[in-house]
Amino acid sequence: MASAYTQLEARFSKIALLGEAIGMLSWDQSVLMPKGGAAARGDQIAALSVIRHDMLTDTALSNLLDEAAEDNGLDSWQAANLREMRRKWVHAAAVPADLVEAISKASNACETVWRSARRDSDFASVVPAFAEVLTLTQRMGEAKAAAFGCSLYDALLDAYEPGGRSAEIDPIFDSYARFLPDFLEDVLTRQTARPAPRFPDGPFPIAAQRTLARRLAETVGLDFESARLDESLHPFTGGIPEDSRITTRYDESDFTQALMGVLHETGHAMYERARPAAWRRQPAGEARGMTIHESQSLLVEMQVCRSRGFLGWAAPIMRDAFRGEGEAWQAENLYRLAIQVSRGFIRVDADEVTYPAHVILRYRLEKAMLAGDLPISDLPTAWNAGMRDLLGTAPPDDRLGCLQDIHWYDGAWGYFPTYTLGAMAAAQIYAAATAAVPAIPDAIAAGNFAPLMAWLAENVHGKGSLLSTAALIKTATGKPLDDTAFKAHLRTRYLGD
Amino acid sequence: MASAYTQLEARFSKIALLGEAIGMLSWDQSVLMPKGGAAARGDQIAALSVIRHDMLTDTALSNLLDEAAEDNGLDSWQAANLREMRRKWVHAAAVPADLVEAISKASNACETVWRSARRDSDFASVVPAFAEVLTLTQRMGEAKAAAFGCSLYDALLDAYEPGGRSAEIDPIFDSYARFLPDFLEDVLTRQTARPAPRFPDGPFPIAAQRTLARRLAETVGLDFESARLDESLHPFTGGIPEDSRITTRYDESDFTQALMGVLHETGHAMYERARPAAWRRQPAGEARGMTIHESQSLLVEMQVCRSRGFLGWAAPIMRDAFRGEGEAWQAENLYRLAIQVSRGFIRVDADEVTYPAHVILRYRLEKAMLAGDLPISDLPTAWNAGMRDLLGTAPPDDRLGCLQDIHWYDGAWGYFPTYTLGAMAAAQIYAAATAAVPAIPDAIAAGNFAPLMAWLAENVHGKGSLLSTAALIKTATGKPLDDTAFKAHLRTRYLGD
């Protein structure tokens, strides 16, 4: 008879295969599916999700988890695998099936109302449905908190950032919130004092954008024998390590958005592709969480591909891709374009300096709402006050304010902080990589990503979920995550020269 | 407590959803997947197939089938549904799991060897792997034959043509085999006596071919709000009724192959789309079998779209699609091109007159091999003798002979006859449709498929699997399937004017 642990590996391998199938169906839904297929696709994904949930909450699996916990012969990877198996089991088993279904229905209903509420900038119209989502999310959080033995917020956060704790996030975000107002003022003053960079003349044909994006993704390390680049309304990375599926959205009047978007998704894909092959369909082999995932996309996009070094190499390639001419195609101009900063209302359009303000605002507000300290009806007022505090500006209406993001209305609570934790981790990890391998920046400036990717594969990607996020960052960079490296990066880039 | 029958419906709905998911994964594999994803995709499909197989062979399901058999309150659709549930159960449960796995492995191995054997025209090299596939297929056939209470061949045939019986196929095929030699001689003599039709000057840009193919598929009735047209090495129809996925293969030097291929697949898709919605994920709502399926693709392609009437309407559209000029674009010339006949070696390239000869040959040979009457080593000799008898010509090597088709080497035995039964059913059904609705040919000649599709939806598509294939054809056409209508169609088209 195979050991309990070995039996668990077999079960989780099947669970992972179901996840891969669900991922493929979702990818097709976002990228290719004609709209007539929507209802049936929902049924298909729901059916597979139920089967997966049933596998995960099977009593026999729970018994095997208990039995394997007594196994003293597990090595560190196996022990990590068992730990992550149990985490998945808690997330699935802690919440009663009827609550899961109620949340799914309430989120779907709320998302529908939210779409028209956002269009009409009519927050009041979404309040009843939103309150229902919040109440049910609180119930789910309480159930998971009891199972994990942590706070309600941390239990929700755990679904996106395993082991994440708000007590560790608060000081990091508070520090950045204190830093930002004066720094932003300095950056904007300096930016205004210089001549504005010039946007190259378009249009930029989509076919040429696609060819360029593929070329640069290949430069980062993506191999299109085992990857695809497609289009979707909301760019994302799907697929599996052997078959990455990245998407983007093209705009003929601006090639930089699609291009930087592809490089961002390539960062995600590179992480997935270098996960430990020996743990391919096991929990320990999965990406560590959303913070590290976002750190890898932002490391490629923000730390590297918006750098003067990379753009110096890429500028003539970009120019030639569009048969461009003139000074707008000079590297320094393209670099200035890539690092423009502004006080804006919309998170997804924000630059790397102001982006954290959007996240810190949402993080504080979602904690307050979940704790019952902020009534939903007060959200617009609190939102605008927070925007003024953090960014010195407030939106003219809720469409550009608290209605802009789908997350809360669709039931995703505890997700937002990972964006900014990822940005800070990206800076800290890139600083560690260049300290360990000083040749990396020169290699990047020559279009050679191999030294960087080798270091990341060894120190981040290949670790899978062996370590906690905190331990992974500490091991890779020598210190716990904070905003020091991120602020240093911003000072150098925006005030340095 | 829900009745046994009702419980079965719920179970089969889940089984159908797994089938839809598997179908989607297979579609992606054939159409889009980068080659790096092949192994993982195989694992994903295998995992879902095992789950589906386990659901189908669950003891509780078998008990419910027995219990529901005692239910006297079922209406005719429910009774048909129960009958088809049992058929699926027999196919799954009759064969031991280890034999299923052995066949899968042997077929995969043989297919690999076959690819190089075909390339090198080296039949001897595939004999050992092929013998293994045959032996295992015979074992599977014996197991199914015992369960169904029919012959080994009929038990294998049942997987593609439910209820099909070789005793009913033999006289139909024998009749056509007697008819063909003299008829073919007459057709070729007449064809040679006339001026050869001229192929329009190319090249034919793929974008223009695609636009034209979509336009004509829409004319047949396909709605691209709930369908896609893509490319694949081997054209096929996938997807679901609400999201048809048809594929084709383009050749810049010849637009007719892709176009007729798309129209062929559109016939398949129209059948799937008009299956009875009330039985959407139940066995009774499925397409009746491969004979009726092929009849619907061939009805659209061969009976209708290669007709003088349709091409008279379509010729100027084709010409304009490629900005063509000259006499080659005249309707009569395009019609003559569409009905060229020749003695060829390759089944998939054959015209409608000679195609049945290729099928009858394979049908006779596979019966003989399965019965042990034809040793595998004698296949090439028997093949060539059969080609001479039926078509008056024999291939110069086995690449153009018994190695040309993947079917047997990949474990598909009992599939071939459905191609020609479908062609004959297409003629008989189209004759019945035009007899019932005399306005159909004139409508087709005006690019209006609505009357034809309405008749097919009512008399064929909407019947799902309510009736047996034999009963469906008898009900729709007034008589059992034979080759009378097919021969009449060929005489009219090829000797009529």
> Tens of pLDDT along B32-90?
999 999 999 999 999 999 999 999 999 999 999 999 999 999 999 999 999 999 999 99
- Catalytic positions of B, please? 265
Neighbour order of strands in the sheet with A243-248? A227-231, A243-248, A237-240
> What's the gap in Å between the CA of A53 and the closest CA on chain B?
14
Interval A154-176: pLDDT, tens:
999 999 999 999 999 999 999 99
Minimal Cβ distance to B32: which of A17, A18, A228 = A228
**For residue B44, what is the nearest residue in chain A, using CA coordinates?**
A17
Residue contact A21–B25, C-beta within 8 A: yes
Q: How far is B467 from chain A, CA to nearest CA, in Å?
A: 26
Which of B55, B46, B11, B1 has the alpha carbon at shortest distance from B25?
Answer: B46
pLDDT value at A421 more than 90: yes
Q: Kindly determine whether residue B239 and residue A36, on different chains, have CB atoms separated by under 8 Å.
A: no
> Which are the contacts of A21, defined by CB distance < 8 A and separation ≥ 6?
A48, B21, B25, B44, B47, B48
For residue A47, the chain B residues in CB contact (below 8 A) are: 14, 17-18, 21
- pLDDT tens, residue by residue, A434-458: 999 999 999 999 999 999 999 999 9
Burial-class residue A48 by CB neighbours within 10 Å (0-12, 13-18, 19+).
buried
Please tell me the distance in Å from A361's CA to the nearest CA on chain B: 41
Q: Look at residue A1 in the predicted model and tell me its pLDDT.
A: 77
The beta-carbon neighbor of B243 closest among A14, A18, A34 is A34
The pLDDT, as a whole number, for residue A250 is 97
Q: What is the mean pLDDT of chain B?
A: 97
SS3 B438: coil
Question: What distances in angstroms separate CA A386 from CA A145, A166, A435, one per listed residue?
Answer: 28, 19, 37
B24 → chain A, closest CA residue = A25
- How far apart are the C-alpha atoms of A413 and A77, rounded to whole Å? 30
Q: What angle do CA A329, A334, A338 make, to 5 degrees?
A: 155
Cα B265 → chain centroid? 10
Asked whether the CA dihedral A91, A95, A101, A102 is positive or negative, the reply is negative
Largest Cα–Cα distance of chain A, in whole Å? 74
- Mean pLDDT value across residues B336-342: 97
CA distance B199 to B256: 10
State the DSSP string of B391-408: HS---SSGGGTTTS-STG
Chain-chain contact of A243 with B40 (C-beta, under 8 angstroms): yes
Query: Per the CB < 8 Å rule, is A242 touching B14?
Result: no
* DSSP track, A14-78: HHHHHHHHHHHHHHHHHHT--GGGHHHHHHHHHHHHHHHHHHHH-HHHHHHHHHHHT-TT--HHH
pLDDT, mean of residues B455-484: 98
pLDDT at res. A25 = 97
Contacts of B243 in chain A (CB under 8 A): 33-34, 36-37, 40-41
Categorize the per-residue pLDDT at B337 as very low, low, confident or very high, splitting at 50, 70 and 90.
Answer: very high
DSSP string covering B185-224: HHHHHHHHHSPPP-PPP----HHHHHHHHHHHHHHHT--T
| Rg of chain B (C-alpha set) | 23
Query: pLDDT digit string (tens) for B21-44?
Result: 999 999 999 999 999 999 999 999
Angle at A62 between CA A56 and CA A68, to 5 degrees: 120
Structure-block tokens of residue B302: 């061969």
Is A113's Cβ below 8 Å from some Cβ in B? no
> Which of B25, B36, B51 has the CB atom closest to A51's CB atom?
B51
Phi first, then psi: give them for residue B261, nearest 5 degrees.
Answer: -65, -45
- Which of B21, B36, B227 is opposite residue A21, by nearest beta carbon? B21
Interface contact flag, B24 A20, Cβ < 8 Å:
no
The amino acid occupying position B348 is V
A132 is catalytic: no
**Residues of chain A neighbouring B35 (CB-CB closer than 8 A):** 225-226
CB contact under 8 A, A243 and B14: no
Testing the interface with B: which of A15, A25, A44 to mutate, by most B Cβ within 10 A? Answer: A44
Per residue in B362-416, pLDDT (tens digit) is 999 999 999 999 999 999 999 999 999 999 999 999 999 999 999 999 999 999 9
A189–B contact, CB cutoff 8 A: no
Is A47 an interface residue toward B (CB < 8 Å)? yes
Instruction: Please give the pLDDT value at position A204.
Output: 98
What is the ipTM metric for this complex? Answer: 0.94
Q: Across chain A, what does the average pLDDT equal?
A: 97
Q: Name chain B contacts of A24, Cβ cutoff 8 Å.
A: 24-25, 28, 44
- DSSP β-ladder status, B237-240 and A243-248: unpaired
**Chain B contact present for A98, CB below 8 A:** no
DSSP summary character for residue B301: I
Q: Which residues pair with B229 in a beta bridge?
A: B246
Confidence of residue B113 (pLDDT cuts 50, 70, 90): very high
Check: CB of residue A281 under 8 Å from CB of residue A13.
yes
CA of B45: which chain A residue's CA is closest?
A21
CB-nearest partner of B21 from A44, A228, A239: A44
Neighbours of B326 (CB within 10 A): 11
Q: pLDDT tens-digit profile of A130-147? A: 999 999 999 999 999 999
Provide CB contacts within 8 A for B301, sequence distance 6+: B260, B263, B264, B267
Å between A278 CA and nearest CA of chain B: 14
Measured distance CA(B212)–CA(B203) in Å, rounded: 15
- Of B87, B102, B176, nearest to B138 (Cα)? B102
Distance from CA of A445 to the nearest CA of B (A): 30
User: Looking at chain B, which residue has its C-alpha nearest residue A280?
Assistant: B40
Residue B243 Cα, gap to closest chain A Cα (Å)? 5
CA of A178 to nearest chain B CA: how many angstroms apart? 47
**Domain A153-497: assigned CATH number:** 1.10.1370.30
Q: What's the rounded Cα separation, in Å, for the pair B458 and B271?
A: 11
Q: Is the pLDDT of residue A13 over 80?
A: yes
**Percent helix, strand, coil in chain A (nearest 5)?**
70, 5, 25
Q: Quick: pLDDT tens for B124-143.
A: 999 999 999 999 999 999 99
| Residue B39 to residue A239, Cβ atoms within 8 A | no
What residue of B is the nearest CA neighbor of A224? B34
**pLDDT of B1 over the 90 cut:** no
| pLDDT-derived band at A497, boundaries 50, 70, 90 | confident
| Contact with chain A for residue B55, Cβ under 8 A | no
Tokens of A382: 């609190």
The answer to whether A373 contacts chain B (CB < 8 Å) is: no
Examine the pLDDT at B497 and tell me if it is beyond 80: no
Euclidean distance between CA atoms B179 and B357, whole angstroms = 11
Is B3's Cβ below 8 Å from some Cβ in A? no
**Closest to A107 measured CA to CA, from A128, A133, A138:** A133
* Catalytic pick among A265, A272, A294, A366: A265
Q: Does A185 touch chain B (CB under 8 A)?
A: no
Q: What is the DSSP letter of A196?
A: P
Inter-chain CB proximity B41 and A227 less than 8 Å: no
Task: Give me the CATH topology for the region B206-344+419-495.
Answer: Neurolysin; domain 3 (1.10.1370)
Every domain of chain A and the residues it spans: 1-73, 153-497
CB distance from A21 to chain B under 8 Å? Answer: yes
Per the structure block, which two tokens stand in for A448?
Answer: 């050679």
Cβ pair A34:B240 closer than 8 A: no
What is the tens place of the pLDDT at every residue in B229-268? 999 999 999 999 999 999 999 999 999 999 999 999 999 9
- Could you say which of A21, A35, A226 has the minimum Cβ distance to residue B225? A35
Residue B317 carries which side chain, given as an amino acid letter?
A: I
